[in-house]
Chain A
Amino acid sequence: MTPLTYIRASDRADALARAGSDGRFLGGGTNLVDLLRQNVERASALVDISSLDGAIRESESGGLFIDASVKNTALAAHPLVRSRYPVLARALLAGASAQIRNMATVGGNILQRTRCMYFYDVDGARCNKRQPGAGCDALYGFNRYHAILGASDQCVATHPSDMCVALAMLDAVIHLSGAAGERQVPLTDFHVLPGDTPQIETVLKSGDLITAVELPPPSDATVNSEYRKVRDRSSYAFALISVAGGLALADGQVAQARIALGGVAAKPWRARRAEQALVGRAPTPDAFLAAIREDLIDARPLSGNSFKIGLVERTMVAVLTALAGTNA
């Protein structure tokens, strides 16, 4: 770790002013501090924003407005999240460990970086994300946790967040504050695929700060929702794959389906083809399977993760079948 300056921001304007060109905002530090300690990232200054306002309130439209510094634990426990967006509560609780969730913030969770082991091994491995043009050791190395969708030959890393998969399913909107003022970006557009520039992971611009996440008003398909994470041990393991599903039925047919996948791409993967294919169909396992295959047609498995295609299919079918049962 390179020596750096630690600044505790008094408010949002202070934080933005003091970040400077090379400064980094510090939330819970559960990922960033590791990255700094291992020299994967370097920063001249850390601007601690974890003590800024962290409120959760109902928005005027009936949605939910969540400040970026809200802790994962607090968000998962919030009554409105539990009743209106259960998929989000479950995704949060599936993540990390209780201790880490007590520290981690919503903003930091969105910005956490891939857990690809080659990305973290500064001395011993090549990584295009860490050092553009260096090469990718994961491509033919240990890539069991890596992407099957939207990857490139430059980078096959996945985004590790559970929370973001639920947020993608819920059509969450990210509120940003930066040099150019305030703006809003749908979460599904916030993370970008690697292409030839895997070092670029989001649409954030230098000096931008995530200030809040807004959830649209609840609907039948957000209330009747579920998150299922498949992993190598019962806790404290990243998703091999995960499925966030929501289902609304009307007259025995699918009125709305919401599906997002985790552990399959550099961003939470909204399965829009499946969602569209299911509208108006009877909610049967066969229909669910046929639908998700529409999205998985594009899957390009690597040497160590071809099992993910079938695993996504089975898990998605199980999640939606259960939701169809609850909704019936």
Chain B
Amino acid sequence: MTKLQNAIVGGVRAVIGHVPASWLPGGTPDPLIDKRVALGGQQTRIDGPDKVRGAARFAAEVPMKNLLYASFVHSAIARGRIADLDVSAAEAAPGVALVMTHHNAPKMAVPPPIGMTNLKAAGNHTLPIMQDAKIRWNGQVVAVVLAETREQADHAATLIRVGYEAVQARTQFEEGKASAYTPDSMLVEKNRLDKGNAGQKLAEAAFKIDAVYTTPWENHNPIEPHASTIVWQDGKLIVHDATQMIHGTAGSLAKIFGLKVGDVQVSSPYVGGGFGAKGLWDHQILGVAAAKLADRPVRVALSRASMHRLIGGRTQTEQRVALAADADGTLKALLHHGYGVKPLHSICDEGFSLTGRSLYACESFDIVQHYVDLDLLANSFMRGPGETPGTFAIECAMDELAHAIGMDPIELRRRNVATRDPVSGAPHSQSAMMEAYDLGAARFGWHRRMAQPGMRREGEWLIGMGCASGTFPFMRMPGTSVRVTIDNSGDVHVASAAHEMGMGTATVQRQHAADRLGLPLDRVTVTIGDSSLPFASFAGGSSQTASLAAAISAASGKLVAELLRLAGNDTPLAGLKPAEVEFADGGLRGVEDPARNESFASILRRSGRAELSVVGESGAPLEIIKYSMHSTSANFCELRVSEVTGEIRVNRLVGAFDCGRILNARTATSQFKGGMIMGLGMALTEETLLDERSGRIMSTSLADYHVPVHLDVPDIDILWTDIPDPRTPLGARGIGEIGTTGVAAAIANAVFNATGKRVRDLPLTLDKLL
């Protein structure tokens, strides 16, 4: 991100600052904030029964005739070139239809990078794919084998002989720090924030802490590995993909293969977990290229090992946080400096330094982050990018500061919680983090915590309690569209190329459409998951629900106008203006005089229409420029640490969330719990073992990359404030990512409370506690 971007964002902010709030999206609070029938209930997932029965078809299960199966050969060096390549044995192996290498791969353009300027781009890196002999990371695909069965393809792949000319690769983090680069901006913020002379305030403060926190490389391990079933049909391309970026993938593949956007169809009705990983990576592109060469449909289903070699992870981070406060706990200075890895060809930011800019009021800030450029696979987004590692550092530091002052950690946060944006001064749209703390503390029993570490013991187990804040910004994506169709029986059909990765997208928007249009749930259908449907942005940044909600809301406005027009004069509604009617009972009625009403079915019948269809779109998210919009949370953990072995076992987690209104209690609880479990994994076990000598990831299986098992996961209580955000559709903010933030800090803080040992280096493996 560039200086130019900084200037543009700064200019837009200056203008929007002078625009009256009522002109902006959310200027008038959404009436559905309070008028709820289906929303806020416990509606079960629409897709649940099909998934339980195995009837839901995932990308690797789509039936296809004449199919070939792909297997990949990965580079074993990090940098250099392929010197020789012998594929003859593979080509001669049973069942093999094609071996594709840089010698015979079709011409492909570089993937257009994902970003706010092109919503139909999904590339995670900007490297040429199989266009030359160059090796750019350890694990890059050097050959693709297509065969009649997966087993034959896998076998043939082992027969390929690759000779390399390796050159010195840059794979060492510590070494790379010396030549780290400093980007001008971090997402839409200026990277460097220097305000109020933090250095001097730090030097003069009564209490301060200054420490370095580190988080390791982490890799994605969704239950469904990445997969695509690909077919070329009459010059058009159809990709059944596991993706959270349907239109981005379609648009990118069109660019890469020189096709018209309309000639690429991407279908992805079900995704077995995305978390940021299910974007466009090399496997789809190579699969499409190989299918073109072989002139047959191709199925790519990544092995766990291939996933680790081809799908980026979350960068390791090294974060220095210094906090200064006076004796009553008022924050005087916040310093947050750090390093992550982001190769120059990599697109995704890990903006951990944004965390400290929104949570707490502070007199001065000194914030900047740097990137190390290494010869590694590009990063991906990973649930709560930025804030997940960022909250670990900031929230451990807050706990350390509270201990240094001798103050309850919640009290320290109460004294400093931001009442407006601490940097820009913009007002919050809504923010009630301390209400979340109060809810959580009561449920958790925070009053039982001993202020002094190491005071509670059961046998060899030391018991500790900790808490930490979580935070994630609100986002609503422009351009996300829905088509709302009313058929002649008055039923409503909502369609959008939105994504279902397990979060309940269709389920919740069905509740929304039913309430918005005044219908019972069983008269609404929702269809998502295919690029032939109206454009939807990616399912990322916890933005999908708000974006779809804005689009449905916009469509409902168009429907009112269209229905009144169709109804004409021979209707009880005659003479009413759009502002004078509302949706109710499957039709429109007068706000002042509900007796003046007519059903959708009647209006359509009288006008001789089989159906009425409109498209609504989520407009520019100007509200996020006028207002400071962040979800927050309070995380609580009780755990035990063995004095004998250093093993940590978490007894309880409580998460209390301030995310606006909750739209579906069941699916929201599940999202929050899943997020917290991911935070638990980050805290205790997850670590990508990247061998810095070779740049090679060694932990490429679920046996070696430790996600939490059921026994590691305790009872998790989920609470929410349910205070509506008056500036958002439905009064809701995104909930997909915040669950992961703050959890690792709460756990590390509880470990300190249990043992008196402060571990600042994740994961909290037992050897660090011996």
Which positions 696-710 of chain B face chain A at CB distance < 8 Å? Answer: 696, 698-700, 703-704, 706, 708-710
Assuming the contacts A3-B155, A141-B693, asked whether A232 and B76 have C-beta atoms less than 8 A apart, the reply is no
Q: How far is the CB of A30 from chain B (nearest CB, A)?
A: 11
B698 near A125: Cβ-Cβ < 8 Å? yes
Task: Name the residue on B nearest A319 (C-beta).
Answer: B644
Docked pose: A123 CA to B76 CA in angstroms: 6
Q: How far is the CB of A24 from chain B (nearest CB, A)?
A: 17
Chain A 1-41 interface mask (CB, 8 Å, partner B; 1/0): 11100000000000000000000000000000000010100
B766 near A240: Cβ-Cβ < 8 Å? yes
Q: Does A181 contact B (CB under 8 A)?
A: no
Task: Name the residue on A nearest B645 (C-beta).
Answer: A230
Chain B 757-770 interface mask (CB, 8 Å, partner A; 1/0): 00000000111001
The interface residues of chain B lying within 8 Å CB-to-CB of A39 are: 158
Q: B704 is contacted by which of A2, A117, A230 (Cβ under 8 Å)?
A: A117
Q: A117 is contacted by which of B94, B460, B699, B706 (Cβ under 8 Å)?
A: B699
A144 near B767: Cβ-Cβ < 8 Å? yes
Task: Name the residue on B nearest A126 (C-beta).
Answer: B694
A236 near B703: Cβ-Cβ < 8 Å? yes
B770 near A311: Cβ-Cβ < 8 Å? yes
The interface residues of chain A lying within 8 Å CB-to-CB of B767 are: 144, 240, 307, 311
Choose, from B336-344, B683-691, B743-751, the stretch at the interface. Answer: B683-691
Q: How far is the CB of A289 from chain B (nearest CB, A)?
A: 12
Q: Does A121 contact B (CB under 8 A)?
A: yes
Q: B158 is contacted by which of A2, A233, A307, A315 (Cβ under 8 Å)?
A: A2
A232 near B685: Cβ-Cβ < 8 Å? yes
Docked pose: A230 CA to B700 CA in angstroms: 22
The interface residues of chain B lying within 8 Å CB-to-CB of A118 are: 698
B765 near A232: Cβ-Cβ < 8 Å? yes
Q: Does A190 contact B (CB under 8 A)?
A: no
B696 near A121: Cβ-Cβ < 8 Å? yes
The interface residues of chain A lying within 8 Å CB-to-CB of B421 are: none
The interface residues of chain A lying within 8 Å CB-to-CB of B709 are: 97, 233-237
Docked pose: A2 CA to B706 CA in angstroms: 29
B644 near A121: Cβ-Cβ < 8 Å? no
A123 near B74: Cβ-Cβ < 8 Å? yes
Q: Does B151 contact A (CB under 8 A)?
A: yes
Q: Does A226 contact B (CB under 8 A)?
A: no
A125 near B766: Cβ-Cβ < 8 Å? no
Q: Does A314 contact B (CB under 8 A)?
A: yes
Q: Does A310 contact B (CB under 8 A)?
A: yes
Q: Does A115 contact B (CB under 8 A)?
A: yes
Docked pose: A295 CA to B703 CA in angstroms: 30
B158 near A117: Cβ-Cβ < 8 Å? no
Docked pose: A308 CA to B591 CA in angstroms: 75
Docked pose: A124 CA to B166 CA in angstroms: 13
Q: How far is the CB of A4 from chain B (nearest CB, A)?
A: 10
A142 near B698: Cβ-Cβ < 8 Å? yes
Task: Name the residue on B nearest A305 (C-beta).
Answer: B767
Docked pose: A121 CA to B689 CA in angstroms: 13
Chain B 708-736 interface mask (CB, 8 Å, partner A; 1/0): 11111000000000000000000000000
Docked pose: A317 CA to B703 CA in angstroms: 29
A230 near B647: Cβ-Cβ < 8 Å? yes
Chain A 230-247 interface mask (CB, 8 Å, partner B; 1/0): 111111111010000000
The interface residues of chain A lying within 8 Å CB-to-CB of B706 are: 232-233, 237
Q: Does B154 contact A (CB under 8 A)?
A: yes
Docked pose: A233 CA to B686 CA in angstroms: 10
Docked pose: A197 CA to B64 CA in angstroms: 50
How many A residues, CB 8 Å from partner? 35
B644 near A233: Cβ-Cβ < 8 Å? no
The interface residues of chain A lying within 8 Å CB-to-CB of B505 are: none
Assuming the contacts A232-B685, A233-B712, A234-B712, asked whether A124 and B770 have C-beta atoms less than 8 A apart, the reply is no
The interface residues of chain A lying within 8 Å CB-to-CB of B703 are: 115, 236, 238
A-side binding surface: helix, strand, loop or mixed? loop
Q: Does B244 contact A (CB under 8 A)?
A: no
Docked pose: A1 CA to B765 CA in angstroms: 35
B691 near A233: Cβ-Cβ < 8 Å? no
The interface residues of chain A lying within 8 Å CB-to-CB of B766 are: 230, 232, 240, 311
Chain B 666-690 interface mask (CB, 8 Å, partner A; 1/0): 0000000000000000001100010
Contacts between the two chains (Cβ within 8 Å), count? 91
A1 near B644: Cβ-Cβ < 8 Å? no
Q: Does B138 contact A (CB under 8 A)?
A: yes
Chain B 592-635 interface mask (CB, 8 Å, partner A; 1/0): 00000000000000000000000000000000000000000000
The interface residues of chain B lying within 8 Å CB-to-CB of A311 are: 645-646, 766-767, 770
Which positions 149-169 of chain B face chain A at CB distance < 8 Å? Answer: 151, 154-155, 158
Docked pose: A230 CA to B767 CA in angstroms: 11
B691 near A142: Cβ-Cβ < 8 Å? yes
Q: How far is the CB of B180 from chain A (nearest CB, A)?
A: 25
Q: B645 is contacted by which of A1, A37, A140, A314 (Cβ under 8 Å)?
A: A314
Q: Which among A118, A230, A234 has the greatest number of chain B C-beta atoms within 10 A? A: A234
Q: How far is the CB of A317 from chain B (nearest CB, A)?
A: 8
Q: Does A137 contact B (CB under 8 A)?
A: yes
The interface residues of chain B lying within 8 Å CB-to-CB of A317 are: 644
Q: How far is the CB of A70 from chain B (nearest CB, A)?
A: 24
Docked pose: A311 CA to B765 CA in angstroms: 13
Q: A235 is contacted by which of B138, B693, B710, B765 (Cβ under 8 Å)?
A: B710
Docked pose: A124 CA to B76 CA in angstroms: 5
A234 near B138: Cβ-Cβ < 8 Å? no
B691 near A137: Cβ-Cβ < 8 Å? yes
Chain A 33-66 interface mask (CB, 8 Å, partner B; 1/0): 0000101000000000000000000000000000
The interface residues of chain A lying within 8 Å CB-to-CB of B192 are: none
Q: How far is the CB of A297 from chain B (nearest CB, A)?
A: 20
Q: Does A318 contact B (CB under 8 A)?
A: yes
The interface residues of chain A lying within 8 Å CB-to-CB of B696 are: 121, 124-125
Q: How far is the CB of A83 from chain B (nearest CB, A)?
A: 25
Which positions 121-174 of chain A face chain B at CB distance < 8 Å? Answer: 121, 123-125, 137, 140-142, 144
Docked pose: A231 CA to B710 CA in angstroms: 15
Task: Name the residue on A nearest B690 (C-beta).
Answer: A142
B155 near A2: Cβ-Cβ < 8 Å? yes
Q: How far is the CB of A190 from chain B (nearest CB, A)?
A: 24
Q: Does B649 contact A (CB under 8 A)?
A: yes
Q: How far is the CB of A267 from chain B (nearest CB, A)?
A: 21
The interface residues of chain B lying within 8 Å CB-to-CB of A117 are: 689, 698-699, 704
Task: Name the residue on A nearest B687 (C-beta).
Answer: A232
Assuming the contacts A141-B693, A314-B645, asked whether A121 and B770 have C-beta atoms less than 8 A apart, the reply is no
Q: How far is the CB of B317 from chain A (nearest CB, A)?
A: 20
Docked pose: A107 CA to B158 CA in angstroms: 30
The interface residues of chain A lying within 8 Å CB-to-CB of B693 are: 137, 140-141
A315 near B644: Cβ-Cβ < 8 Å? yes
B689 near A142: Cβ-Cβ < 8 Å? yes
Docked pose: A307 CA to B768 CA in angstroms: 9
Q: Which among B94, B644, B693 has the greatest number of chain A C-beta atoms within 10 A? A: B644
Task: Name the residue on B nearest A120 (C-beta).
Answer: B701
Docked pose: A137 CA to B691 CA in angstroms: 10
Chain B 94-138 interface mask (CB, 8 Å, partner A; 1/0): 100000000000000000000000000000000000000000001
A315 near B645: Cβ-Cβ < 8 Å? yes
A318 near B644: Cβ-Cβ < 8 Å? yes
The interface residues of chain A lying within 8 Å CB-to-CB of B151 are: 1, 3
B645 near A233: Cβ-Cβ < 8 Å? no
A interface list, Cβ under 8 A from B? 1-3, 37, 39, 97, 115, 117-118, 121, 123-125, 137, 140-142, 144, 230-238, 240, 307, 310-311, 314-315, 317-318
Which 7 pairs from chain A and chain B are nearest by CB? Answer: A234-B711, A307-B767, A117-B698, A124-B76, A318-B644, A235-B709, A230-B645
Contact sample, A vs B, 12 pairs, CB 8 Å cutoff: A3-B155, A97-B709, A124-B74, A125-B694, A141-B691, A230-B645, A230-B766, A232-B685, A240-B766, A311-B766, A314-B645, A315-B645
A124-B696, A144-B767 known; 13 new pairs, CB 8 Å cut-off, are A37-B154, A115-B704, A117-B704, A123-B76, A125-B694, A137-B691, A142-B691, A142-B698, A230-B647, A233-B712, A234-B712, A311-B770, A318-B645
